[in-house]
Structure 1
Amino acid sequence: MAMRTARRTGKALGACAADALLALATPAGTAQAPEGDLFINGTEHEDPSGCYRLGDFAPPKIVDLTDGTAFVRSGPDCDDHVTQQIDPGATGIGRGLSLYIE
């Protein structure tokens, strides 16, 4: 009987520990795409989200009229390192191969 009680207690403690880990791993809120407009060389992107390629030649003019920050990255698929940050309401020249905004 003591053995069954010990097993039940162990299972209950394991379930509590799993619940606690799950609660810590779950984000508090859901991520939302920035609202507003992002312009890359005059092309409008309404409520942008994700990765945008900037091209290989002349650096584009970027206007961030969203409530999110745009990050210009050195790689073509929003990989490698961040080369610059364009804050909401700011304009910049994209000196990289891609732009990421979330």
Structure 2
Amino acid sequence: MATQVTVELVPLADGGSAEAAALLAGLYLEYVDESALPMAVRYARAAAEAGLPAGQRTYGHILATGLGVEEDLARAAECSGPPARAGTPTPPSTSPSS
């Protein structure tokens, strides 16, 4: 299934779709073996550089964990900063109401 989806997403990502690039990065990270890490890095970086929060989070994760790249915690923190969190829903407060 992942192979079918990636075949359809690659032309979109290569054509500049940050959303397709972020999806591909996630698919390569989760559903393909380590031989796909260079592609995951490539597409995550493209999505991050396009300013897509999902791409920034994914690329930040890759950099923080050293998946297919040299670990770079400083750059990972930059990628995972406020712009990357912009697309992340805030969890509901667990503090008691007054």
Q: TM-score, normalised by structure 1?
A: 0.20
More strand as a share of residues: 1
Higher relative contact order (CA 8 A, sep 6+): 1
Q: TM-score, normalised by structure 2?
A: 0.21
Higher-Rg structure is 1
